[in-house]
Structure 1
Amino acid sequence: MPAPPADPGLALLTGPSVPDILDAALTPAGGTLLDWSVRDVDHRPGDRTTVSYVARVSWSPGDERSETYAATVSGTRPSDGLVVTDGDRFVQVWRFPYDPELPGLAAACFPSSVGDLLRGLGLPPDGVQLRVVSYRPRKRAVIEVVTSTQRLFIKVLRPGQVRDVDSRHRVLTRAGVPVPRSLGWSDDGIIVLAPLRGTPLRVALETGATALRDPAELVALLDRLPAEIAGLPRRAAWSSHAAHYAGVIAAASPSLGAVALDVADEVAAGLAARADGDEPTHGDFYDAQLFVEHGAVSGLLDIDTLGPGRRADDLACLVAHLSVLATDGFAAADGARAALADWLPVLDRRVDPAELRLRAAGVTLSLATGPYRAQDADWQQATELRVRLAERWLSAGSSGGKDGAENALMRLS
């Protein structure tokens, strides 16, 4: 597969034009841009590219603030919000929390409006304190809410998604799957969720231990997903997007383009011989989505991606994330390495080992875009490390899945 041409939209939102773009939004509002840096890049070659920024803005003498802004460039005019255009490309700019595709976000970010939301749900609103847990421009945000008597989470989605996500939470709660209980939702894209018990698995792995008495619990948790999940709309597995992510890697780091595109081609060829599958799957199953308590699984997060698929999709997602944690200098590296060594033989008994490694290669390739998206200081080195790790998973799959975790990870730590 040839490397894609350079994307002018990516260059526009990350290069010397950025001050002009931000000034076009700030000047009419009375603000002056003092400094800026890229916070996050969501590059989608041939589609929209979205970049968020941390900007230092002067609003008046003595009033300087650090604020989050975002901009999207595409070939079609957005329906809402401030738009700057040269006639061919349309750039939309906004200040957090006024995301044009997440209309509920602003209400989730101010104590007064969150208090009104809690009252509407019959919950006491006293002493509301808020913390932004995550924000992906145009996609979603999570806000932690702590009051004098309780702790809960507000998840903000595009309005068209929220009813369906609420329904999924209720289906799994009725089935006894330990997901956050939905406390209610609103038409503007807000869903309020109760907290889970336990500790995030990634945090637990930072002790250097595997954090689970029996890794078969991971498979058992997925096998508890109710059969009706298989009737939901199908979402393509992470591994099937390998070509897209290879294109993103090639655009961000051209020297890795050929390798990434070759890995994507081989993953696609290997998956072409396998059916899509109709098992109920989580769709984004990895350590950050799992909670553990007393050596057992206690919770499962982010069920927006539920749908039919192959069990190997979910298990490969977990394996790929653990392998990246084990090789990228994370605090959980020792625990992730121990978990891979302990868990991989158990996972191999549930699915075809060769398929597991093939899909892990595709998921790892998708994770190789993460350091650039987050604008890590060493993103070039981290990207190459993950691309090489994807190569090793691919090689392990090609050998019939005989290689264990140590062989896949050696020389990459």
Structure 2
Amino acid sequence: MTNGASFAREGEDLALLTGSTAGDMLRGAVGTDAVLRSWQVHSVHHRPGAGVTVGYTVTVDRQSAAGTWQRQEEYLCASTARLAHASSPHLTHLRSGDTRVAIWTYPEDPELPGLPTACSPARMAQLLGHPVSIELMSYRPTRRAVVRVTDIDGSASYGKVLRPPQAQSLAKRHMMLERAGVAAPSLLLNVPSGIVLVAGAEGEPLANAISRGMGSRAAQILGALSAVLDSLPTDALTLTKRPAWAERATHYAHAAATALPEQARRCRAIALEVSHLLAASDPGPLVPVHGDFYEANIYVDVASSAVTGLIDIDSLGPGHRVDDWACLLGHMSVLPHLAPRSYPHVASDLPTWRNLCERMVDPVSLCARTAGVVLSLVAGAKRVDGTAWKHDAEGRLATAEAWLTRARIWASGRIPVQ
């Protein structure tokens, strides 16, 4: 199947899994000893070229062994993705036309064997040797989950649940940073089933500082960010190189166009120009990179303008420094669309960081790659809870275009308005 046909099929799959007929599939999945009373789409996960997964909150009446009926809330997932463990006993397989759908009840994710343990206070207490409480922080079906593990004294650690090979890779990265003395949470536990438990990061998320406004500290904080990137160990160059966000612009254009079909032409045009400018600009040398370097994954002590922690280091490895900066600027530039009241100072702080970054790396490459990062964030604006989201998504699309305009100005030999 060609990419175009595959992408069109995924649009149909998305409509299938989020439309009214999804209820029929869910009724077939809850079993003969249960009655589906209600269901609602909770989350949509679309990975271009790799399928669609939808999470549902459902109300079910189940019959017990004693013959009594009990009403309970459950979380079900339905996926068209190709699963490595499609024969899992926890799966129900259904077909709608030519589309095969696998359905499971959380936490029995077929690709995340560690999830039932990570979500169970009793099982985690047994692993750690003391009582704990568990809070699910995030869940991306078949890909990953994050839980907060709180001890009786109130201290917290964080468990990331991944496919076992990815979990081992993440544990390796944490140990690598710890040996190099890089500010990152220490590894506490590495469970073969795919649970990596790490300590909490010191300081506060950089997002908080951006929300309050950095003012005169903006340049100093960026200097600290540059220093922590410079401190990444050269051993990271031996790790697997992963594509940067901008290098997958075509995929993200498809996801954006699926969310905003009326803007499909703009999405494709952005991806095309990003790819053109990437080929025509200098990304700089291959160096160790974080790979997902933005405000939620960076912890700081604002008083000292110091970086106190890097989290979500799954993408640590060889890459180009320009992509870490593009990730930072791209995410920062969509914050006013995401939550304008929470980020009133971005308009004044972002130009400071942008101008400094343009001096450190090729500005054409930086602006084009930042546009690619922003494009990757367009589909994420879509909401399924009834909250208005199109203004946010279209704002992100316009922001990607603005970054491309700046890249074109630099490419023409002119200097953009600062």
Task: Tell me whether the two structures share a fold, i.e. TM-score over 0.5.
Answer: yes
TM-aligned CA deviation for residue 2 of structure 1: 8.4
Q: Distance in 2 between matches of 1:224 and 1:75?
A: 39
The 3-state SS of whatever aligns with 1:193 is strand
Identity %: 37
Q: Does 1:265 align with 2:268?
A: no
TM-aligned CA deviation for residue 376 of structure 1: 6.5
- Match of residue 54 from structure 2: 51
Q: Is the 8 A contact 1:42 1:373 kept in 2?
A: no
Q: 1:325 to 1:76 in 2, by over 3 A?
A: closer
The 3-state SS of whatever aligns with 1:156 is strand
Q: Which of the numbers 36, 53, 70 marks the counterpart of 2:77? A: 70
Q: Is the 8 A contact 2:297 2:312 kept in 1?
A: yes
Q: 1:100 to 1:90 in 2, by over 3 A?
A: same
Number of positions where the alignment pairs a residue of Structure 1 with one of Structure 2: 398
The 3-state SS of whatever aligns with 1:146 is strand
Ranges of 4+ aligned residues in structure 1 off by more than 6 Å: none
Alpha-carbon displacement from aligned partner over 1:296-326 (angstroms, at most 9, x marks no partner): 2111111111121111101000001000003
Which amino acid in the other structure matches residue 305 of structure 1?
S
The 3-state SS of whatever aligns with 1:399 is helix
- Match of residue 189 from structure 1: 194
Q: Distance in 1 between matches of 2:178 and 2:282?
A: 30
Q: Does 1:245 align with 2:256?
A: no
Stretch of structure 1 that moved more, 136-145 or 44-53: 44-53
TM-aligned CA deviation for residue 50 of structure 1: 0.9
Q: Is the 8 A contact 1:2 1:258 kept in 2?
A: no
Alignment of 1:227-306 (within 5 A): 227-274=234-281, 277-293=285-301, 294=303, 295-306=305-316
The 3-state SS of whatever aligns with 1:214 is helix
- Match of residue 41 from structure 2: 38
Q: Is the 8 A contact 1:239 1:363 kept in 2?
A: yes
Q: Which runs of no fewer than 5 residues in structure 1 stay unpaired?
A: 120-124, 406-413
- Match of residue 233 from structure 2: 226
- Match of residue 83 from structure 1: 93
- Match of residue 337 from structure 2: 327
Q: Is the 8 A contact 1:216 1:346 kept in 2?
A: no
Query: Normalising by the residue count of structure 1, what TM-score does the alignment of the two structures yield?
Result: 0.90
TM-aligned CA deviation for residue 340 of structure 1: 0.8
Q: Is the 8 A contact 1:101 1:138 kept in 2?
A: yes
Q: Does 1:397 align with 2:400?
A: no
Q: Does 1:168 align with 2:176?
A: no
Which amino acid in the other structure matches residue 13 of structure 2?
G
TM-aligned CA deviation for residue 164 of structure 1: 1.5
Q: Is the 8 A contact 1:202 1:332 kept in 2?
A: no
- Match of residue 142 from structure 1: 146
TM-aligned CA deviation for residue 55 of structure 1: 2.0
Q: Distance in 1 between matches of 2:231 and 2:308?
A: 13
TM-aligned CA deviation for residue 200 of structure 1: 0.9
Which amino acid in the other structure matches residue 58 of structure 2?
A
- Match of residue 206 from structure 1: 211
Q: Distance in 1 between matches of 2:43 and 2:194?
A: 23
TM-aligned CA deviation for residue 189 of structure 1: 0.2
- Match of residue 408 from structure 1: none
Q: Is the 8 A contact 1:208 1:332 kept in 2?
A: no
Q: 1:109 to 1:331 in 2, by over 3 A?
A: farther
Stretch of structure 1 that moved more, 388-397 or 9-18: 9-18
Q: Which of the numbers 14, 18, 41 marks the counterpart of 1:10? A: 14
- Match of residue 20 from structure 1: 24
The 3-state SS of whatever aligns with 2:212 is coil
Q: 1:49 to 1:399 in 2, by over 3 A?
A: same
Root-mean-square deviation (CA, aligned residues, Å) is 2.4
Q: 1:72 to 1:380 in 2, by over 3 A?
A: same
Q: Is the 8 A contact 2:213 2:349 kept in 1?
A: no
Q: 1:375 to 1:229 in 2, by over 3 A?
A: farther
- Match of residue 346 from structure 1: 356
Stretch of structure 1 that moved more, 389-398 or 5-14: 5-14
Q: Distance in 1 between matches of 2:156 and 2:82?
A: 42
Q: Distance in 1 between matches of 2:361 and 2:282?
A: 14
Q: 1:45 to 1:341 in 2, by over 3 A?
A: closer
- Match of residue 409 from structure 1: none
Which amino acid in the other structure matches residue 269 of structure 2?
D
Q: Is the 8 A contact 2:282 2:365 kept in 1?
A: no
Alpha-carbon displacement from aligned partner over 1:348-386 (angstroms, at most 9, x marks no partner): 221112211110100000000101266662232222111
Q: Distance in 1 between matches of 2:175 and 2:291?
A: 18
Q: Distance in 2 between matches of 1:50 and 1:358?
A: 30
Which amino acid in the other structure matches residue 177 of structure 2?
L
Q: Distance in 2 between matches of 1:110 and 1:74?
A: 26
Q: 1:354 to 1:259 in 2, by over 3 A?
A: same
TM-aligned CA deviation for residue 83 of structure 1: 1.4
